[in-house]
Structure 1
Amino acid sequence: MEDTARPATQSDHDVLIVGAGISGIGMAAHLGMKLPDLTYTILERRDDLGGTWDLFRYPGIRTDSDMHTFGYEFEPWRSENRIVSAQNIKDYLNGVIDKHDIRRRIQYGQHVVSADFRHEDARWHVVVEADGVQRKVTANWLFLGTGYYDYDQAYDAGFDFSNFEGEVLHPQFWPDDLDYAGKNVVVVGSGATAITIVPVMAQQAAKVTMLQRTPTWIRNIPSQDRIARFLRKILPEDLAYKIIRWRNIRLTDFMIKRCETHPQQVAEHLTKRAQESLGDKYREADFTPPYRPWEQRMCFIPDDDLFEAINRGKAEVVTDTIDRFEGREVVLKSGKRVPADIVVTATGLQLAMAGKIALSVEGEQVNFRDHFYYKGCMFSNIPNFSTFFGYTNASWTLRVDVVGNYICRLFAHMKATGAEIATPYLPADHRMEREEFFNLSSNYIKRSLDMLPSNGPVWPWQLGMDYLEDRKVMRATPVVDGVLRFENAHSEERRQAAE
């Protein structure tokens, strides 16, 4: 493929955003509001926006975060409903892209295959495939909003279904025409996906069994925020949203810290709530995890929907280990047999870095394990590049605004000083110890640690999981911090180095 070299100022895009999900759309909105003179384009592999919320089609798919904090800081969530469906989220995103004139900048069906940064022209050279044809585009800056899991391949738990006569499916690849009315369904798993699917399928299925190896902590919350409804009646919409959002952020922060400092009290509270909801159907073995609250992500059930399905006899939770799948049954190690016309393997995701794009700098492949996070959105020694990983203990979108504000400050500084390249510089002999940045012990994270970027013990070489602290630090610290190196591709220093 022929490369037509051009000066850095003539790149196809100032910023190339990959992914039209929550992250990519949020970044685009920040660029439009703060730096309207910059050109940007969003390349989306799928045929519609939404990312996660377009990919997953399983029954009842919904956010497991409060929408008043899941919504962007600049665009109010205008409903008292706090837990909503994927379609509600896509409707919200469509409103955002129309309001901020983003729609015309999104190109669908565009698979980014590779991207190589070259210092000589301060550009990313990006290979994009559409309809089987590849083309090359260039960009001064590359922003990946590609999420953190593999869209093409779900996690395979290694079950043997060769002797199973029923239907097997994974939530990531849900068929549009699945008929489960009057059938026995077994959902394998105990995470947010399983807990979402079970009560919805129980409305039509003969019975749905949530088969788990290990329980998860579950917390019931009202699907509607009554305080939000009240504040909207007495205050202007934007002011009400700011108050509601900040209140809910603070409440989540309090809950997380409470789980860290008083885990036993939190566990007792959650247990009591489950016992009150389930009565004589409560079984300790099914609702008492062997870990502290928020050591793995807590699952929220709106309006007791899972417990209500159990109380009606339409759903059941079974804690056991699978021995085999046989006929139309799941045979457990205990000897129990669970009827199963359909098995749903809600056993987790397969993580993937950078949307599986082949990233390189000067032709040398980027192995993210060899690079440290910088301020939670860039990486050591990778120039003109940023990406996004949300919070594991709060709404994903909160980091979108933190990162969006910071990156726009960085771009403004580069424009004002004429800098073309920005690189978080870390010397090869740094001797900095790697620390795992996840505060969760979930299996899907444990099995993917080797592919994840490194986290340092000190700022700025970290991806933090404390939104309030991140927000304060990212706003207070200057762009020029002695770590971030700024260069011009055509400077004398760069010319001499090339010679």
Structure 2
Amino acid sequence: MNGHINGSANGTTEETIDVAIIGAGISGLNAAYRVQSKLSEYTYKIFEARDNIGGTWDLFRYPGIRSDSDFYTFGFEWNTWPKDNPIVPGEDIKEYLQQSIEKEGIDRHIAFHHRLTALEWSSESMRWTLTLETKDQTRHVQARYVIVGTGYYDYHEPMNAEISGLGNFQGTVIHPQFWPEELDYTNKKVAIIGSGATAITLVPNMASTAAHTTMIQRSPTYVYPLSNPTRRWFGWFIPSLIRSQLSRLIFIFLQRFSYALCRAYPKQARSILIWRMRSLLGGVLPVDPHFSPKYNPWDQRVCFAPNGDFFTALRSGKADVKTGHIRTVTEKSIILDNGDVVEADIIITATGLKISVASGVPIKVDGEKISIPEKFLWNGSMLQDVPNFAIMIGYTTASWTLGADATALLFTRIVRYMERRNAVVAVPRLEDPSVLTTRNITDLNSTYLAVAQKHMPKTAEEYPWRPRTSYYVDIWQAMFGRIDRGIEYIPASAK
């Protein structure tokens, strides 16, 4: 369909396409595949601010960075992860993404060093105008549809945690989001502040080289060792390709089943997880207070340790855990409120990530600025009163990509539905928001997610404004559910 370029005298390049995809991370790349396979006659382009694909997996460079969900479900449905390790190192993820897009020709549709700075919809032209900054010019691109696949992390600024006395420290202070390549922690005393997935990853990967590694946590986390049951059950007689596809189905089921079980029987789930952690600790640390969270499983994310590597590091004596609030930081140590003192040469503040929806880019519809936190999310995929616009919001209690793929499939189905109705605009509408019972977009209460709620779109108990909760429900809705409720389709004749 549309796909032409017009040069202009002021150095600004004008281009018109059908679908503009923002971000060349896993969500954006997956959306590109769905567009080119289901809307093959539509032109599309991916605009990426960085110089490489991967998004999170290109940004984060800390030791041992890896997926925090199994990669059979975190990877692409159309190119399933072929190996037997469910938790995958960052470098392998980047290689997998590159191989996947080259196989499908998606790499030819990516414009690197294109940072989106503004999005504006015109009802007169029925198109979006994207303002993009490159190294040497400002570009304006017009598109009929926009898909935002930038994830939900702020790439430029982490979540700041107030740590008393941190300015006194004379050693090196690092946030994992901006890991310096030249950092040498050999034979150094390392203190990692935090207890989330990043901290659980850093401990075993730094402990083998550092003099000693201490994880300092305000409160404990559930940590569970993860292996591949498909390999264990069927590996000896099922070919690799079929095994990876079977692994995907099994892990999708296990994610949902284990989550539902934990929510239905929280006391029993808590007892099982604590029993498992106690057995893996081997007596080197007491479960209470270090591994006995006050909250129930999946009130916050359960962290995974592939093959129990986190516990192996603790049993080796090269790493340990301290639990308590930080009273202050001195020139060479961290003092907790219980009197514990942790000496350190390096402090790593793995205290969470700052949330940013649509990368914080200003969005306007006919000159009126859209405030995302004031808008409701339609079917987990589109924003109230924002035309021809899809936003990738995945799961926080399962693999992110499953939810992003549901959005991509729903988007392509809506476009085909519009064709049959001779419509050119699709915009979610809500006549009276007061009739809805609002709820948080996620049930998790982790600190960084609790802080982020005020930046996220609204969701409700009522259909079609519910948040994502179940992949089975969402994928059915994307492929077969009603797409005529809470949404207005505007015909070309209205132009």
TM range (shorter): over 0.9
- Hey, what's the Cα distance between the residues in 2 that align with 1:247 and 1:230? 11
Matches within 5 A, 1:71-470: 71-159=75-163, 160-222=165-227, 225=228, 227-228=230-231, 231=234, 234-235=237-238, 238-283=241-286, 284-428=288-432, 431-470=435-474
Q: Is the 8 A contact 1:274 1:282 kept in 2?
A: no
Query: One-letter code of the match for 1:275?
Result: R
| Equivalent residue number for residue 7 of structure 1 | none
1:280-335 Cα shifts (integer Å, max 9, x gaps):
21311000011001100000011111111111110000001111111111111122
Query: 1:409–1:204: structure 2 CA closer, same or farther, 3 Å change rule?
Result: same
Give the number of aligned pairs: 483
Q: Is the counterpart of residue 36 in structure 1 residue 69 in structure 2?
A: no
Q: 1:59 — aligned with what?
A: 63
Q: Show the counterpart of 2:491.
A: 488
1-side partners of 2:196 and 2:434: how far apart? 39
* CA distance in structure 1 between the partners assigned to 2:475 and 2:257 by the alignment: 16
What secondary structure does 2:87 align onto? coil
CA distance in 2 between partners of 1:276 and 1:229 (Å): 21
For the 8 Å contact 1:218–1:300, the answer to whether it is kept is: yes
Structure 2 counterpart SS, 1:242? helix
> Which position in structure 2 is the counterpart of 1:478?
482
Counterpart amino acid of 2:258? M
SS in 2 for 1:12: strand
**3-state SS of paired residue (1:249):** helix
Q: Deviations over 1:461-493 (max 9, x none)?
A: 1222211121223322133x243211135x2xx
CA distance in 2, matches of 1:259, 1:187: 29
CA distance in structure 1 between the partners assigned to 2:63 and 2:362 by the alignment: 34
TM superposition shift of 1:428: 4.7
The DSSP-based 3-state class of the residue aligned with 1:423 is: strand
Deviations 1:205-259 (A, max 9, x none): 000000000101111122xx25237646644555433322111111111110111
What's the Cα RMSD here?
A: 1.9
Range that drifts further, 451-460 or 463-472: 463-472
Partner Cα separation in structure 2 for residue 3 and residue 367 of structure 1 = 33
The CA deviation at 1:372 is: 0.6
TM-superposed CA distance for 1:458, in Å, is 1.0
- If the length of structure 2 is used for normalisation, what is the TM-score? 0.94
Shift in alpha-carbon separation, 1:205–1:386, aligned structure 2, 3 A = same
Task: List gaps (5 residues or longer) in structure 2.
Answer: 1-5, 9-13
CA contact under 8 A between 1:32 and 1:100: conserved in structure 2?
Answer: no
Distance 1:262 1:362 in 2: 50
Offset at residue 430 of structure 1 (A)? 5.0
Amino acid at match of 1:342: I
* Worse-matched range after superposition: 297-306 or 273-282: 273-282
Residues 76-85 or 234-243, more deviating? 234-243
CA deviations on 1:331-352 (whole Å, 9 max, x unpaired) are 1112221111000000001111
SS at structure 2 position matched to 1:187: strand
Secondary structure of 1:280's counterpart equals coil
Distance 1:26 1:233, change over 3 A: farther
Letter matched to residue 94 of structure 1 = Q
CA distance in 2, matches of 1:433, 1:267: 30
Contact 2:83 2:244 in 1 (8 A): no
- Which secondary structure state, in structure 1, belongs to the residue aligned with residue 283 of structure 2? helix
- Report if aligned partners of 1:142, 1:385 keep a CA contact under 8 Å in 2: yes
1:451 CA drift (Å): 1.5
Any stretches of 5+ residues in structure 1 without a counterpart? 5-9
Residues 320 and 229 (structure 1 numbering): CA distance in 2 closer, same or farther, change over 3 Å?
A: closer
- Offset at residue 3 of structure 1 (A): 12
Contact 1:80-1:226 at 8 Å conserved across structures: no
Following TM superposition, by how much is the alpha carbon of 1:100 offset from its aligned partner in structure 2, in angstroms? 1.2
Alignment check: 8 A CA contact 1:11 1:140 kept: no
1:114–1:127 Cα contact (<8 Å) kept: yes
Amino acid at match of 1:271: I
1:476 maps to a residue whose letter is F
Equivalent pair of 2:175/2:350 in contact (CA under 8 Å): yes
What is the rounded CA distance, in whole Å, between the counterparts of 1:103 and 1:383 in structure 2?
A: 28
Normalising by structure 1, we get a TM-score of 0.93
